[in-house]
Amino acid sequence: MANILVVEDEKPIGLEDGSIYTAELRYPDKTLRCLLYEAAKTSQ
């Protein structure tokens, strides 16, 4: 029997330059599933 873990939480973390990291966590043990990076938008 396989264990199925569901991603139940996303935690966005904003940085000073405007870029964002989003950590997706698996529950119940809160292990990191993936980490997404979004670059800051530059104004011209």
19 closest CA partner among 42, 44, 43 = 42
pTM across the whole model: 0.55
ω into 28 cis (within 30 of 0): yes
Q: Which residue has the higher pLDDT, 2 or 37?
A: 37
Count how many Cα atoms sit within 13 Å of the Cα of residue 11 in the half-sphere of its side chain: 10
The domain segmentation of the chain, as residue ranges, is 6-38
- Residue 16 reports pLDDT greater than 60: yes
Q: What is the mean pLDDT of the chain?
A: 76
